Structure 1
Amino acid sequence: MTWTDGIILLGVGLFTGVINTLAGGGSLITLPLFIFMGLPSTEANASNRIGVFLSSLVAVGGFKSKGVSVFPFALYVSITALAGCVIGAYFAVDIRGELFNKILAVVMVIVMTLTVLKPYFMKKGMEEVFSPKRKALSIFLFFFVGLYGGFIQAGVGFLIIATLTSIHGLNMAKTNSIKSFVIVIYTLVALGIFWWEDQIRWDYGLTLAAGNSAGGWIASRWSVGKDDKWIRLILIITVFGMAVKLWFF
C-alpha cells in the first residue's frame, strides 16, 4: 500500500463512517475502491469488514452515550442475523472475482434506487410497536439480513432501516443504534471466517477502519434529528459511477 492509497483510504473512511451511521451504504463506496486499488474481490470484501466492524462498534458507544439503546430487542435480531452471516460469508469466500464484481455492480444500482425511493417506503406518524408477532417477524427477517451481510455487506444498512421502520415504527436514532449493534455482532464472526480463510489485507483494512471509526463517532453523536438528504445525494452520484466502472471495466 502506498502513502497515496493510505491518505485516500483515511479520507474516504471518514466520509463513509458518517454515511454508514446515518443511513447505511458506505460499503458501496469502500468495497469497489479496494477493487480499484488492485485487491482481488474476495480480499476487498474481507478487508472492508474491518472498517465496518470498528465504525459500528464506535457508533454503538456513541448512541449509548446519548442514551439511545433498544435492548434486549437488538440482541434478539442479532442472533438470527449471526446465523445467516455464517452462510453468507462462506459463500463469499468461494465466489469468482469477475462474477463478484458483476453482482456488486447490480446490487449497487438496486440499493441506490431503493435509497431514492426510501421516503415513500417509510410510514409517517407510525407509533412504536413491539407486539409479539412483529418481534417474531423481525427476528425471522434478520436471518436474511445476516445472510446478505455476510456475503456482500454493501447496502445492508438500508435493509435494516427499512425492516425496523416499517415493522416497528422506530425513529432513525433508535433504528441506527440497533443497526450498528447488529452489524457489530455478525461482522465479528464474518471477520473470523475471512481471517481463517486468509483473505484479509490488514494494512488496507485497518487504514480504512481508522477513518471509519472517526466518522462513526462523529455521526452517532451528531445525527439525532438531523436530515441526511445531502449525504444520500452524494452517495447516489458516487455509487452509480462506481457501478458503471465495475460492470464495464
Structure 2
Amino acid sequence: MFYLIALVGAILAGAVNTLSGNGSAITLTILMELLGLPANVANGTNRLGVLGNGFAASLGFQRAGRFTVKKEERVEMTRVVVITTLGAVLGIYLSLIISNEAYRAVFRYLLIVMLVVVLVKPKRWLVAPEGRPTLPQWLSIPLYFALGIYGGFIQMGMGVFFLAIMVLVARYEIIQANVIKALVVTAYTLIAVAIFSWRGLIDWPIGLLMAAGQMIGGYLTARFAAQHPKAGLYAYRLLIIVIIAAIVKAFFL
C-alpha cells in the first residue's frame, strides 16, 4: 500500500513540477515520513524522480513543438542551462557537508515573499511580453548561478523560484519558462544523481518507482501545457496553490 501511495504521489509531483514547481515537497514527504528514509538518502533518492520528470517534461514539450525558437533565444536558453548547472554543482557539494535545516528555515520565509510577488499584478504572469529584453550579464549570471546552488542543494521549491525569475525578471512567457526549467533541471540533476549514487545515498528500488511516476505525470502535463490555450492561466493558479500549501506545511505541519 505504501508503494502504491508513493507511485500516485510521484505522478502528482511530476504534474506539479512540470506546470509550476515544488513537487519535491510531495515526494520528500513520502520518502521521509511515509517510507522512513533518512533525510540525506531521501534527498538523493528524490533526484531520480526529478531527473525522470525533467526528461519526460522536456520530451513532452519537444513533441508539442515548444523548442521551435529563434537562434538568439536558443543561445540564451543554452546560457541559462550552463550557468544554472555550474551553480548546482556547488549546491550539490553543500548538500553533502551542511545540514538542510538552516536552508529550510530560510526557505519558509522566502515562500511568503514569493506568494506576495505572485499575487501582486497577476497580469505579469499571464501576458506574454512583446519585444522581451535580454538581461544584462551582470544580472543574469549571478541570478541563474544562485538558482543553481539552491536547486543543487535541496531542489524543493526550485521550480517556484525559477519561474519567478524567468517570468518577472527575464520576462519569459510562463509556459516557455517551464520549457527552460525542464531543460535546466534535467541537466544538473544528471550530475546530482551521479554524485549521490557515488556516495551511496540513493535507494534505487524506491527511487526508480517514483521516477516512473514522475515521468508519467511530467510527460502528460507537458503535452497538455504546450497545446492548451489556457495552460498559462492554469500554471499560474497551480503556482499559487503550491506556494500556499508549502507555507502551510512549513509553518504548521
TM-score normalised per structure 2? 0.84
- The 1:199–1:105 alpha-carbon spacing in structure 2 relative to 1, beyond 3 Å, is same
Q: Distance in 1 between matches of 2:236 and 2:151?
A: 24
Equivalent position to 1:18, from 15, 21, 39? 15
Q: Distance in 2 between matches of 1:86 and 1:61?
A: 24
Q: Distance in 2 between matches of 1:190 and 1:121?
A: 36
**Are 2:115 and 2:240, in contact at CA under 8 Å, matched by a contact in 1?**
no
Q: Distance in 2 between matches of 1:89 and 1:233?
A: 28
**Are 1:60 and 1:177, in contact at CA under 8 Å, matched by a contact in 2?**
yes
Q: Which amino acid in structure 2 is aligned with residue 110 of structure 1?
A: L
Runs of 4+ in 1 over 4 A off after TM superposition: none
Counterpart for residue 29 of structure 1: 26
- The 1:74–1:149 alpha-carbon spacing in structure 2 relative to 1, beyond 3 Å, is same
Counterpart for residue 120 of structure 1: 120
**Are 2:111 and 2:243, in contact at CA under 8 Å, matched by a contact in 1?**
no
Counterpart for residue 59 of structure 1: 57
Counterpart for residue 41 of structure 1: 39
Counterpart for residue 74 of structure 1: 77
Counterpart for residue 243 of structure 1: 250
**Are 2:64 and 2:223, in contact at CA under 8 Å, matched by a contact in 1?**
yes
Deviations 1:143-194 (A, max 9, x none): 1111001100111111211111123322122110001000000111111111
Say whether 1:189 aligns with 2:186. no
**Are 2:57 and 2:219, in contact at CA under 8 Å, matched by a contact in 1?**
yes
**Are 1:112 and 1:239, in contact at CA under 8 Å, matched by a contact in 2?**
no
Question: Runs of 5+ in structure 1 lacking a partner?
Answer: none
Residues 108-187 of structure 1 mapped to structure 2, 5 A cutoff: 108=108, 110-111=110-111, 114-115=114-115, 117-120=117-120, 123=124, 124=127, 126-131=129-134, 133-134=135-136, 137-187=139-189
Secondary structure of 1:24's match? coil
Secondary structure of 2:132's match? coil
Say whether 1:231 aligns with 2:234. no
Question: Runs of 5+ in structure 2 lacking a partner?
Answer: none
Secondary structure of 2:120's match? helix
- Paired residues in the alignment total 239
- The 1:120–1:234 alpha-carbon spacing in structure 2 relative to 1, beyond 3 Å, is closer
**Are 1:150 and 1:186, in contact at CA under 8 Å, matched by a contact in 2?**
yes
Q: CA deviation at 1:60?
A: 0.6
Counterpart for residue 90 of structure 2: 87
Secondary structure of 1:72's match? helix
Deviations 1:62-121 (A, max 9, x none): 11111112523222111111111111111112234xxx2464365256336514641427
Say whether 1:198 aligns with 2:200. yes
Decide which moves more: 21-30 or 115-124: 115-124
**Are 2:20 and 2:236, in contact at CA under 8 Å, matched by a contact in 1?**
no
What is the Cα-based RMSD across aligned positions, in Å?
Answer: 2.4
- The 1:135–1:45 alpha-carbon spacing in structure 2 relative to 1, beyond 3 Å, is same
- The 1:241–1:5 alpha-carbon spacing in structure 2 relative to 1, beyond 3 Å, is farther
